[in-house]
Amino acid sequence: MKHNFGAGPCILPQEVFKQASQGVLNFNDTGLSILEISHRAPEFVAVMEEAIALVKELLKVPTGYSVIFLQGGASLQFAMVAYNLLAEGKKASYIDSGVWAKKAIAEAKLFGQADVVASSKDKNYSYIPKNYTVAADSSYLHFTSNNTIFGTEFHQFPDKKNHLVCDMSSDIFSKEINVADFDLIYAGAQKNIGPAGATLVIVKDEILGKTGRTIPSMLDYEKQIAAESMYNTPPVFSVYAAMLNLRWLKAKGGVAAIEKENITKADALYKEIDRNPLFKGTTATEDRSRMSVCFVMENPDLEKPFLKFAEEKGCIGIKGHRSVGGFRASLYNALPITSVHVLVEAMQEFEEKNK
Ligand code: PLP
C-alpha cells in the first residue's frame, strides 16, 4: 500500500477516484463519459452548480460573494488579481512569504505599484512575517496562507481592514475560515479540491469593475461570473471530480471535522520530529504548516538512506523541495491518519537502526 505525501497534483480519497473513474466510463447512467457530454447539457450544468453550491455551503460563503471555477491555475490568478483590482497609479501591498508570493508580486508589478510590506526572505522563508504596516491607500493586501514549499502557514490572518486577497491553494478546505474577512480568495484545485485544471475563485462582488481598465474577457472576473464559469469550455473532469470530493468532505462532517483530523495528523508528525534525535523541523514552531510539514536530518548523510527506507514502507513523495532540502510531508485532507502513523513508525525504526 502506498502512502502519498506528495505536494501534488491531486490527492483524493480512493472512493472519490473510483467514482470519478466511473464517471469517465458512464456518467450518471447516461451511457456517455463525463468527458464527452456537452458542457451545456443539463447533466453537466448540474455538476457545475452542485460544485459551486458545495463550495458555498462548506465555506459558509456569505451573500455578496461570487464563486467561480476558472482555468490557468493559481499562477494565472497572480496576474488576474492585479489586472482586475489594481488600477493604474494605485498601489497594492504584498507579504513575501516564499516562492509563490514572489511570483504573485512579479505579476502584480506588470499592472501597478506592488509594495512588499514584509518578507521572511532573511531566514529562507522559515517564518511568517508579522510586523508590517499597510498604507491606508493600498488597494489590497495579498498573502499566501500556506507556503507549500517552505512549510509555513498563517494561523492568524492579517487584519481584514487591509482588504485581504489570499492565495489559499494549499490549505483551502483544511480549516474553518471566515470568508467575509476577505475581498478575494483563490486556489488551484490540485491539493484539497480536485484534479489540476480548475481554479477556484471566491470574490466579493462590490470590489469588481473599479479599475477603469478594459480587461480581456477570459481574464475579467465580471465576465466569468456573468457566464457562470462557462465563458468557454470548462475543465469538465476537474470540476466533476472536485464536486465528488466536496461531497466526500461534506459527508465527513465538513471543514470543521476535517480541521480536527488535520490538527491530529500534523501534531503526530511534528511530535515525532521534535522527539526523534535524528530529525529537526525547519520552520518557526508557531508558524508550522499543518499541510506541508518540512523537516531535515541532523546528519544530512542519512537523508538519502531514510528516503529509501521510507519508500520501502510505502511512504512516497516525501523528498523536500530543493530550496529547503530534506523532507516535506504533505498532509492534505485526503491523506488518512494511518499514513501518518506509518511515516512516524518508519522514523522510529530508522532511529533504532542508526543508534
Ligand atoms: N500558490 C501556491 C501556494 C501553490 O502551492 C502553488 C502550487 O503548488 C501555486 C500557487 C501554483 O499553482 P498552479 O500550478 O495551479 O498555478
Summarised one tens digit per residue, pLDDT across range 239-287 is: 999 999 999 999 999 999 999 999 999 999 999 999 999 999 999 999 9
* Substitution candidate for ligand 1 out of 81, 100, 145 with most atoms within 8 A of CB: 100
pLDDT at 84: 98
The pLDDT of residue 255 is 98
Residue, of 143 and 88, whose pLDDT is higher: 143
Q: Is 339 annotated as a binding residue?
A: no
331 Cα to the center of ligand 1, angstroms: 16
49: pLDDT strictly greater than 90: yes
Residue that the C-alpha cell 451511457 belongs to: 31
Q: Are 171 and 263 in contact (CB under 8 A)?
A: no
Span 319-326, average pLDDT: 93
ipTM of model over 0.90: yes
**148 known ligand binder:** yes
Cβ < 6 Å from ligand 1: which residues? 8, 73-75, 100, 144, 148, 167, 169-170, 188
- Using the predicted structure, report yes or no on whether residue 8 has a pLDDT greater than 90: no
Domains belonging to the chain, first-starting first, are: 14-251 (3.40.640.10), 253-353 (3.90.1150.10)
- pLDDT tens string 140-181: 999 999 999 999 999 999 999 999 999 999 999 999 999 999
Q: Rounded to whole angstroms, how far apart are CA atoms 355 and 350?
A: 9
pTM above 0.95, yes or no: yes
Number of helical H runs and strand E runs in the chain: 9, 14
Question: Which amino acid residue places its CA nearest to atom 15 of ligand 1?
Answer: 73
Rounded distance from Cα 66 to ligand 1 centre (Å):
21
**Mean pLDDT calculated for residue range 218-232:** 98
pLDDT of residue 10: 82
Q: Compute the distance between CA of residue 123 and CA of residue 125 in angstroms, rounded to an integer.
A: 5
